[in-house]
Structure formats: C-alpha cells, structure tokens
Amino acid sequence: MSEIDLKKEGVTGVNQRLYKLPKDTNDRHWIIRNPMGQHAIACGLDAPLTVEIQGHVGFYCGGMNKHADIIIHGHAGVGVAENLMSGTVWVKGNASESAGATANGGLLVIDGDASSRCGISMKGVDIVVGGSIGHMSAFMAQRGNLVVCGDAGDALGDSIYEARLYVKGKVTSLGSDCIEKEMRAEHLEDLAKLLERAKRKDRPQDFRRYGSARKLYNFNVDHADAY
C-alpha cells in the first residue's frame, strides 16, 4: 500500500503518479490523504488500481475511470464518476449534482443521498444510491440501471430511453414519457444482484420499476403536443 499527500503534491502531482504506473505494477493499492475538496482527483485512470481517498472531494472525482476501484471516504461534489467507463466508484457519503452523468459502464455506489440530475444521460452504468435523489434524475437515461433505496424528486426519468429505474421510496413525480412498469422475475433477480454488489440489505420486492413508455423517441403526430 502506498500513500500520497495531496496537500504536498497537488492534484496534478497525484494524478500523474497514478497515470505513470506501469500496467503490470504490483503497487496497486493507493491512499490519497488531505484531498481538501479539490476537483478532478483520480480522473482518467486506466489500470486495475484500488484508490482510497481519505476525505471530501470536489467536482468530477473518478471521472472517465476505466478498471480502477475508487473509494471516497467522504462527500463528493458535482459530477462524481462522470463518463465512468468501467471499474467502481464508491462514495461513502453524499454526492452533489449530476453523479454518474453520461457514464457508459462500471458501478457507482453512493451510500448517502445524491442531489439533482443523478444518472443524467447514463449510457450503461449501474448506479446504486443508498439514500434519496433529487429532481430530474435519469434525464435522457439511455441504458443501465439506477437503484434508489430512498425517495426520488420531481421529473424522474424525463425523456428516458431504455434505462431501468428502481425506487424503494416515494417518487415525487415522473418526467415526460416515464411510467411505472411491471416488476417481473428477471427484474427482481437483476435488482438483487445490484443490491448485493452495493452491499445493501434491502429487499428487491420492496422496489418499484420505472421506464420508458416509448412515445417520445418514436414520433407520432397524435402526440405532437408532447414534443
């Protein structure tokens, strides 16, 4: 295990040390201390590392991650795990706006709450939120799964494509073209696996599923006033 003090090395110094590691390195477990809420920590990693950040982080932490497992022992600012490709980003606290935005793959876990636009334009990522999420979450969500163990704010899934949304608590309102859907056996099975990966003990049977009514992205003149 290796340690880096961000207060001494700065964000660029920390990121460069991680970027320059050879692909076959045995030095795979890193601790980043004193993150001080700085932005863009551990962005663009492309190796099977484990990176633990001891404290709160600013914007875009873990963005564009491939392969690495990033654990944030604190809260995260705007756009955590933005454009995540693979690997895992795990926030032990709360996350601000646009968590997991445009993410293509991998797993994002937020143990606490997430603010507005969680999972906006998600393209294949799996997101599990232990608490509640804010308004306009999963806006234009294309693929992947968003699991919410608490409540969801206004306009959930507005203009959604084919992502699956699972909410245990109350949904304030659904966005355009987002409807509640039947929870079939295959959905319960998929949800159980996601909850297990996120180390959650919630029962899949307590969740409701939401998805696209498929009326917006297939133009129909009878629904022209909805566009």
197 pLDDT more than 80: yes
pLDDT band per the 50, 70, 90 thresholds, residue 24: confident
Q: What is the mean pLDDT of residues 88-106?
A: 98
CA count, 13 A, side-chain hemisphere, 53: 34
Following CA atoms 202, 204, 208, 211 in sequence, which dihedral angle do they give, to the nearest 10 degrees? 110
pLDDT at 219 over 80: no
| Mean pLDDT of the residues in the chain | 95
Q: Which of 67-81, 142-156, 213-227 has the lowest mean pLDDT?
A: 213-227
pLDDT of residue 94 exceeding 70, the answer is: yes
Return the beta strands (E) in 10-167 as ranges: 29-33, 50-54, 69-72, 88-91, 107-110, 123-129, 143-148, 164-167
175-189 per-position pLDDT tens digit: 999 999 999 999 999
Could you identify the residue written with the tokens 């795979």?
Answer: 28
Q: How many CB atoms lie within 10 A of CB 105?
A: 17
Which pLDDT band holds residue 225 (cuts at 50, 70, 90)? low
pLDDT > 70 in the chain, percent? 95
